[in-house]
């Protein structure tokens, strides 16, 4: 019996942003991303490439006002697409953990796709910006992504002060952990929960 496709497309349009995200959980890490924020595009490309989740994302927003609305709403839209693609989550591995180096930096991400949103982020890197991109906005992105994906996400960047390397390691670790958690479990087609519900 052919496995059900795990694809989804979600659109979100407000007075501040217009975003469309399409995902394929069983893809090859093919991406086409345009947010108007080059560094953010780079991070989302890493997320797609290393998770093997195909991702098409188009976003326009009030960037002349602030980047906040666009970054947060991308998290909401991408999270909703992931949640929709996961369906009832029957037969997934559910948990994922990855530790990834990037030169002098080391980061870890731990994911539980059990339906209970929770976010913890601990960054050793204290840099505030890359060019004009406020790095604190990644906290807003991760919070929105966590809530809409209905996942438990713990991120820790242990050391390394170069901001680009720090966030690259974080996004690659998240990608690898998400890939592991969303994989189909070859030994279990039931819901991965002793409660019988997620």
- What does the mean pLDDT of the chain come to? 96
- pLDDT of 95 > 60? The answer is yes
pLDDT value for 1: 47
pLDDT value for 183: 97
State the Cα–Cα distance between residues 120 and 138, nearest whole angstrom. Answer: 12
- Mean pLDDT computed over 100-124: 98
Percent of the chain with pLDDT over 70: 99
State the Cα–Cα distance between residues 78 and 57, nearest whole angstrom. Answer: 8
- Given strand 17-24, what is the order of strands in its sheet? 7-13, 17-24, 54-61, 31-34
According to CATH, the topology of domain 7-182 is Ribosomal Protein S5; domain 2 (3.30.230)
CA dihedral 126, 151, 45, 84 (to 10 degrees): -150
- pLDDT of 8 > 70? The answer is yes
Confidence of residue 2 (pLDDT cuts 50, 70, 90): low
């Amino acid at each position: 019996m052919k496995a059900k496709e795990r694809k989804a497309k979600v659109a979100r349009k407000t007075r501040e942003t217009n975003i469309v995200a399409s995902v394929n959980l069983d893809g090859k890490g093919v991406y086409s991303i345009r947010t108007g924020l080059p560094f953010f595009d780079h991070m989302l490309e890493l997320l797609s490439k290393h998770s093997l989740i195909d991702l098409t994302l188009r976003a326009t927003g009030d960037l002349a006002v602030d980047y906040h609305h666009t970054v947060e709403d991308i998290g909401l839209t991408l999270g909703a697409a992931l949640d929709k693609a996961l369906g009832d989550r029957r037969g997934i591995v559910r948990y994922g953990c990855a530790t990834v180096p990037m030169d002098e930096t080391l980061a870890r991400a731990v994911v539980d796709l059990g339906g209970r949103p929770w976010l913890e982020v601990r960054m050793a890197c204290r840099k505030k910006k890359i060019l004009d991109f406020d790095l604190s906005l990644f906290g807003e992105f991760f919070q929105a992504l966590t809530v809409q994906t209905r996942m438990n996400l713990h991120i820790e960047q242990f050391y390394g002060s170069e901001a680009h390397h720090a966030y690259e390691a974080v996004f690659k670790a998240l990608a690898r952990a998400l890939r592991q958690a969303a994989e189909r479990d070859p030994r279990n087609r039931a819901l991965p929960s002793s409660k019988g519900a997620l």
